[in-house]
Structures are given as C-alpha cells and as structure tokens.
C-alpha cells in the first residue's frame, strides 16, 4: 500500500490525517472516547470530525471499562472502533475488556469472531504529569497473546500502521502515542518503504553498535547517533515499533554485525521491552555479543512530579551518548564530549502545560 505524504509533517498531523482517512475509508469506522468531539479534539487529532462524520464520532461518559466492551461488541458486529485514552494510565480501567475479552474473543471461540479495533493510548511526560499521567504501559499489553502493540515514532509510522490496522488487520491493536512528540515536525521522505507496516524499522545504518529503541527514544537514539558520528562512532538504530512482535531477524542481523547492543525504551526495565530484546538475543545467539548489553529506561519508581526529579527519572540524550560511547570504547573515559546538559523536555520545549 503506497501512502503519499507531504515532505514535512508533525506527529499530530499524522494522527489527524490517519483519523480522517480511517473515517472516510469506511462507514463502519467510529471514533469513540472522552473528548473526541470537544474543542481540543484529543490534542487536535479528532477535531471537527464529528461534524464531517455525524453519528460516528462519539463522546462518552467516564466509563473506560464499558466503552471498551462496547468497542468489542461493535467490532464483532462489523464496526471498526477507534477508542482513545488521553492518557495510557486511564486505559488501565479498560484492562478487563482488553485482556479478557478483546484478546480472547477470536481464539476462545475457535475463530468464530474477529475483533478489529484500535485503542489509542497517549503517554504523558513533562510539566509535572506525575505518577498517574505518565506511564508507558506497552509491555503490560504486549505480554498478552491476541493483542498487537505498536509504538509509532514518526508520522510515517502512524499513517502506515493505522491504515494497515483499519483496512487489513482483523484484530485488536493497542497503540502508544507519545505526547511529547505531538508538536514535532518530521521529514517524511527519509523512510524506506516498509513491507510490513507493523514491522520494526531500520532507522539508521551503522557498524559499531546497535541501538534498539521505542517511541520517543528512537528520536533520542537518532540525536545521539548524529552526535556520536562526529566522534567516530557509527550507530545502527532500530525502531522496534511493534513491541508485541519485534523483528528478531533485524535485531540479530544487526547485533551480529556490531556485537554491541543498547536497548532504549520509554518504560521500566524489568519484564519489559528491554528484557524482551535481551531474551531474543539470549535465545538466538548470545555469542554474537562482544560486551554486556546496556539498557536505558525509566528509574524503577513511580514518576515524580518535580521537574528536577523528572529530569533525572528519564533516560535522555546525554545518558544515551555516554552509555553508547562507554560501550563502544569499552571504558568510562571514552573521549566523546557530552553536549551541554539540557533536559529532554527543554529540548522538545514546545511542550508546556497544562496538557
């Protein structure tokens, strides 16, 4: 499927375009959730669609559980529901329906039903989102057979992935969008066409080290790679994208070439994406590793609110550069200068509160 993209696009425009396309594509699509018809329109991604597609963009009560069940019931009866949660944390109220119902309805009944639906969960970060507006819950859902979990890191990934989800894939997809990326502009022409829209993406070729990253950490990995390239370190960057079905071959081909692996995820390390990527290497051929794996993720605590704490809670560019340089050079005094310290949210400083 070819998708024509303008040369530059924000993440938000990618989402808004994907939503409009999904609605225009078929009269069976609905967008449903809290705030989908209001003036903010899920950070501008559903704005005015209720006027264009009356009756199919549906405001809901604060009932995440039953609204998700309603989507499951809609899906098995011919609708394509797109359900939004302005914070992934609120999606936890929908876990019974997502895990016990959506993920099971096909298998448990021996293939009698299909559950085509998309759940959009937004990961919050910065401006004091705190412990309950900031969680990256991808591994919780990726653990469950039956759910496809994606983390688009570019407008290109959004458009191709959502198009594939809506038109072709017949099962439940949970997508984690990152709030910090909504305002960022991306060059859209630098992406090679993908054969599998849900597949992992080789974002940058390099020979010294493999960085496997998710979501906004893909952007940090690319910034780190650009800096490290000026100092003689050549990084290969893989955007894992579909965390529930990582491209094992892409990961192993890369690590076999570089011998060194950094996993940079937006979430906690234990039992998460980092652990899963390490499982892939450990099961496939741990002998290709020339050094221990380095994992970057959130500190193992709930997210603090104070900015000074938040700035040290998340892995950032400086930590990434330092960790990669140490791994490649094999020593702490690796000689790569660390750029002047600026917190990630200051860098992506378009983001100011309240939401």
Partner 1 sequence: MSRNDRYQELFRQALRIRLVEEKVIELYPSDKIQSPVHLSIGQEAVAVGVCEALRPEDAVYITYRGHAFYMAKGGPLPELMAELYGRRNGVSGGKAGSMHLAAPQVGVMGASAVVGSTISVAVGGAMANRILKKPGLSVVCFGDGATEQGTYHESLNLASLYGLPALFLCENNGLAVHASLAERQSYRILEHARSYGIETVRIDEGWDFLKIGDVTRQVTDAMRADGRPRVMEVMTCRYKEHVGPGEDFAAGYRSQAEVEAWMAKDPLCADTALVAELKPALDAEIDQAVAFAEAGELPGLDDLLTDVY
- Cβ 110 to partner 1 shortest distance, Å: 3
- Cβ 302 to partner 1 shortest distance, Å: 25
Separation between Cα atoms, residue 63 and residue 52, nearest integer Å: 25
Q: Residue 175 or 188: which CB sits closer to partner 1? A: 175
Q: Residue 27 or 187: which CB sits closer to partner 1? A: 27
- Cβ 31 to partner 1 shortest distance, Å: 12
Q: Are 60 and 38 in contact (CB under 8 A)?
A: no
- Cβ 34 to partner 1 shortest distance, Å: 13
Q: Residue 103 or 298: which CB sits closer to partner 1? A: 103
Q: Are 307 and 286 in contact (CB under 8 A)?
A: no
* C-alpha to C-alpha distances, 151 to 148, 155, 174, 215, 235, nearest whole angstrom: 10, 11, 9, 5, 21
Query: What residue spans of the chain are helical by DSSP H?
Result: 11-25, 41-44, 49-52, 64-76, 95, 138-142, 155-167, 216-229, 248-258, 273-284, 307-313, 317-329, 344-347
- Cβ 202 to partner 1 shortest distance, Å: 24
Q: Are 194 and 160 in contact (CB under 8 A)?
A: yes
- Cβ 299 to partner 1 shortest distance, Å: 33
Interface positions with partner 1 (CB under 8 A): 27-28, 30, 55-56, 58, 60-61, 63, 65-79, 81, 96-97, 100-101, 105-113, 145-146, 148, 171
Q: Residue 69 or 297: which CB sits closer to partner 1? A: 69
Separation between Cα atoms, residue 45 and residue 60, nearest integer Å: 17
Closest CA to 30 of 68, 56, 64, 11: 56
Which two tokens mark 267? 């979430």
| Length in residues, the chain | 355
Q: Residue 77 or 230: which CB sits closer to partner 1? A: 77
Q: Residue 113 or 347: which CB sits closer to partner 1? A: 113
- Cβ 244 to partner 1 shortest distance, Å: 9
Q: Residue 85 or 178: which CB sits closer to partner 1? A: 85
Query: Sign of torsion, CA 82 87 88 91?
Result: negative
347: exposed, middle or buried (C-beta count within 10 Å: 0-12, 13-18, 19+)? middle
Q: Residue 246 or 297: which CB sits closer to partner 1? A: 246
- Cβ 55 to partner 1 shortest distance, Å: 7
């Amino acid at each position: 499927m070819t998708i024509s993209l303008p040369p530059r696009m924000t993440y938000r425009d990618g989402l808004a375009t994907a939503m409009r396309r999904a609605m225009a594509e078929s009269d069976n699509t609905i967008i449903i959730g809290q705030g989908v018809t209001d003036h903010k329109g899920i950070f501008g991604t559903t704005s005015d669609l209720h006027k264009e597609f009356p009756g199919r963009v549906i405001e809901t009560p604060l009932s995440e559980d039953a609204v998700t069940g309603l989507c499951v019931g809609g899906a098995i009866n011919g609708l394509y529901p797109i359900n939004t949660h302005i914070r992934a944390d609120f999606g936890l109220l929908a876990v019974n329906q997502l895990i016990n119902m959506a993920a099971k309805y096909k298998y448990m009944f021996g293939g009698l039903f299909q559950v085509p639906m998309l759940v959009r969960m937004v990961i919050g970060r910065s401006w004091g989102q705190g412990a309950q507006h900031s969680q990256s819950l991808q591994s919780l859902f990726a653990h469950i057979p039956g759910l496809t979990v994606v983390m688009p890191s570019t407008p290109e990934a959004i458009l191709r992935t959502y198009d594939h989800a809506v038109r072709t894939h017949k099962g439940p997809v949970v997508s984690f969008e990152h709030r910090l990326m909504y305002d960022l502009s991306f060059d859209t022409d630098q992406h090679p066409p993908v054969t599998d829209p849900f597949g992992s993406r080789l974002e940058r070729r390099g020979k010294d080290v493999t960085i496997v990253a998710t979501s906004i950490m893909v952007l940090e990995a690319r910034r780190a790679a650009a800096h490290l390239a000026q100092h003689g370190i050549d990084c290969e960057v893989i955007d894992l994208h579909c965390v529930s079905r990582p491209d094992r071959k892409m990961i192993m081909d890369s690590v076999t070439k570089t011998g060194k692996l950094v996993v940079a995820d937006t979430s906690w390390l234990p039992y998460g994406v980092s652990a899963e990527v390490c499982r892939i290497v450990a099961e496939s051929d741990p002998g290709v590793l020339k050094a221990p794996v380095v994992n970057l993720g959130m500190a193992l605590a709930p997210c603090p609110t104070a900015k000074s704490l938040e700035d040290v809670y998340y892995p950032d560019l400086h930590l990434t550069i330092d960790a990669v340089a140490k791994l490649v050079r094999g020593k702490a005094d690796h000689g790569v200068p660390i750029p002047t310290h600026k917190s990630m949210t200051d860098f992506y400083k378009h983001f100011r509160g309240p939401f």
